[in-house]
Chain A
Amino acid sequence: MPQIFRPSADIWLRAAVVMVFFLVLGGGLFATGLARSSYATGQGWPIEQTVPFSHKHHAGDLGIDCRYCHVDVERGPVAGIPPTYTCMTCHSQVWTGAPMLAPVRDSLASGQPLVWTRVAKLPGYVYFDHQIHIDRGVPCVECHGRMDQMPLAYRAHALEMRFCLSCHRDPAPHLKPPDMVTRMDWAGWDLVAAHRAYGAAAMKRFHIEPAKLTDCGLCHR
């Protein structure tokens, strides 16, 4: 009875088995990786806008407080994209002729809204309330990152559920004095003992119970 296979056949067969195994494994890893990649989450990808508004310039260099434009952040669920009117409070005085600002001027003149592209938009089934977070002293930077260093705004964090959970499960380290929420740079904050204790104190003061903070109904309804 002649051999059906050449000696090399075994090599090939085993190679194939190993290949399949790693393909399956790799496929799984790739999928999970992709879901977490900045490509999928948009994390760190600057976004083109009709008017190339620079947070770096306004918030960083000029040091304008977030709340000057995002007026509703303290009193309502959404911080709000500022109305054309707000832009023009300054730009009716400065850079009045700048071609870059033409769309803004047109908008005010025509009454047609400016069209922006949302950067930190959560899915429709997620209900995030800025008011309460600000009130409890969660600084803007916790979720939005160093806006003061972004020429064009981008997502500093993936804003996935696990990101929210990381804070909701252990709020203490993220809490800062409510009157300083718009501060961007907290470097050195943790070094000072008193400051390190602040989070715990705030938890007590505001009756923040992490057990309740992971109720599904808190964000999904």
Chain B
Amino acid sequence: MARRADPPAGLAAEFADAEALLRAARRLHESGYRRFEAYSPFPIDGLAEAEGFKESKIAAATLVGGFVGAATGYGMQVYTNLDFPIDVGGRPLIAQPAFVLITFELMVLFAVTACILAMLLLNRLPKLYHPVFDIERFGLASLDRFFLVVDADDAKFDRKNSRALLRRLGAVNVTPMPAADLEVQAEP
């Protein structure tokens, strides 16, 4: 209630379909906006790119995880066999062929774990409380509506112009995003 009075933390524009959103995002980025984010009920090709998103950290993390895993797996087997050398059925002490399998398994385990942790960390998840949830109709963002939220502290943000721009970009309606109880930290 009290929040109504506060200056809005940003503007939330609702779009009826994905193409509109995609277009809007692209134009917004072209016209120099940086601190904005698009929300959609399903992944849309090129949307993030339209916002100027470019990163391959996850692939890197996975790769590292895989290497660490494989090293751990193989190292563990070699180490334990040297630590207490035991003759097992006359097999070689360090039996590479036999060690391959566990090496592979641990590689997979570490790679996948790293991959998913990286995804969550980079996305700053879990994040149960977020100002966008204050937007009136945001609940539809997981159903069939598409949202574009411009942060108030974007360099080019201007309540009137931005609203106008969003309208021009085909937003079916533009509502102010109420300020958060704690200051909004922008998306990276």
Contact = CB atoms under 8 A, between A and B. Distances in A.
A binds B: yes
Interface of A: 1-7, 9-10, 13-14, 165, 214, 216
A72 B136 CA distance: 91
Nearest to B139: A1
B136 A5 contact: no
B127 A10 contact: yes
B180 to A, nearest CB: 7
Nearest to B141: A1
A1 B135 contact: yes
Contacts of B86: 216
Interface of B, helix, strand, loop or mixed by DSSP: loop
Contacts of B135: 1
Interface of B: 84-86, 126-129, 133-139, 180-182
A77 to B, nearest CB: 25
20 contacts: A1-B133, A1-B134, A1-B135, A1-B136, A1-B137, A1-B138, A2-B133, A3-B129, A3-B134, A4-B128, A6-B129, A7-B129, A7-B180, A7-B181, A7-B182, A9-B128, A10-B126, A10-B127, A13-B126, A165-B84
Contacts of A3: 129, 133-134
A174 B26 CA distance: 78
Contacts of A165: 84
B139 A10 contact: no
Nearest to A165: B84
Contacts of B84: 165, 214
A4 B129 CA distance: 7
B137 A13 contact: no
A13 B129 CA distance: 11
Contacts of A13: 126, 128
A24 to B, nearest CB: 14
A9 B181 CA distance: 13
Contacts of A216: 86
Given A1-B139, A5-B129, A10-B127, 4 more contacts: A3-B129, A5-B128, A7-B182, A9-B128
Q: From A3, A9, A214, name the one whose CB has the most chain B CB atoms within 10 angstroms.
A: A3
B126 A14 contact: yes
Contacts of B134: 1-3
A165 B135 CA distance: 68
A13 B136 CA distance: 25
A157 B126 CA distance: 50
B36 to A, nearest CB: 20
B133 A10 contact: no
